[in-house]
Amino acid sequence: MKVAVVGATGMVGKVMLEVLQERNFPVTQIIPVASESSIGKTVLFKGQKEKIVGIDVALYNKPSIAIFSAGASTSLKWAPQFEEMGTTVVDNSSAWRMHDTVPLVVPEINADILTKDDKIIANPNCSTIQMVMALAPLHKKFKMKRLVISTYQSVTGTGKDAVAQLRNERSRLEGDMVYPYNIDLNCLPHCDVFLDNDYTKEEMKLVFETRKILQDDSIGVTATAVRVPVIGGHSETVNVEFENEFEMGEVRRLLTEMPGVVLMDNVKNNIYPMPFYQQGKDEVFVGRLRRDESQPKTLNMWIVSDNLRKGAATNAVQIAEYLLKKGLVEA
């Protein structure tokens, strides 16, 4: 099976290569794709040096699957061309997520919507993926009415230049500024660009993508997304109001039984998720479960996950695994 990774030298692309190896995805030929400045260089895959090629060369090779993580403009231009060649594209950018005909997939939740005709499949935003993983079983049981979300997002979500800015500031070195202000010893209530409604694009992704994945436009969603000086992963507080009453024991049971979710909630022993410890792991970790004492049928949650793995690369590879398992893509 030929597999192209478009954006192979980026933070997410590198993790995609790692995850494909770790999960023993049946790759017979890996086709790493990057920008012109990287063509001819090599990446390591399964102990072998693989030469980086341009996207036109990857297209010519007709891969079975192409996993994109190279930005929306690249995906909008090239994904349809791969589709025409019969390649199934799993796209990690925001380009296709809200297209009516493009499925937006978290495999543990809604992979069953995929068909052989789906040649472009959207990977949700990192902060959305980890949240809906924890919320999906609760929504199915109690029906969510409204979500109030605050995110604490790693600089890795912006990219390697943002990580460099943080490290430069921490070492008191001069360097390029990705953010409009220092990120070290600071919090920026500014993830992505501001829109006409004064929310950021990142905040509105949480609104629209959550409703699409859970197939329920009636859910009220409001969010504040904050960039924090963290490298390990994204954290979120979620206040969820349900239509129906719930018992805490049932909430814990549902979360424990949800594939890909790990419940870490023992405050008496200071056990709760933190990005420092969840970095490099594929699961979504949930803790600090407690009733909202200010109104009925409302729950508070703390959700942490590595945004480069389950929030991006791992989710994309899981989609590819599902396609292969169900015979929706051929080698």
Structure tokens at 290: 């407690």
The reported pLDDT for the residue numbered 67 is 98
Task: State the pLDDT at residue 319.
Answer: 98
Hey, what amino acid is at 63?
P
Q: What is the DSSP letter of 92?
A: -
Q: Which residues pair with 227 in a beta bridge?
A: 153, 188
Domain 2-124+312-325, CATH? 3.40.50.720
Confidence at residue 20, expressed as pLDDT on a 0 to 100 scale: 98
- Catalytic annotation, residues: 126, 234
- 173 φ/ψ angles, rounded to the nearest 5 degrees: -110, 150
> What per-residue confidence (pLDDT) applies to 330?
79
**Which part of the chain has CATH 3.40.50.720?**
2-124+312-325
* β-bridge mates for residue 224, sequence order: 150
What pLDDT was estimated at residue 331? 72
Residue 225 and residue 191 in contact, taking contact as beta carbons nearer than 8 Å: yes
Structural tokens at position 276:
């420092």
**201 CB neighbour count, 10 Å cutoff:** 14
Residue span(s) of the chain under CATH 3.30.360.10 come to 127-307
What are phi and psi for residue 264, nearest 5 degrees?
A: -125, 90
- The DSSP-derived string for 106-168 is -HHHHGGG--TT--EEEPPPHHHHHHHHHHHHHHHHH-EEEEEEEEEE-GGGT-HHHHHHHHH
Per-residue pLDDT at 299: 98
Identity of the residue numbered 149: I
Determine contact, residues 288/302, Cβ cutoff 8 Å: yes
Q: Which residues of the chain have pLDDT under 50?
A: none
Which pLDDT score is estimated for 19? 98
CATH no. of 127-307: 3.30.360.10
Residue 249 pLDDT:
98
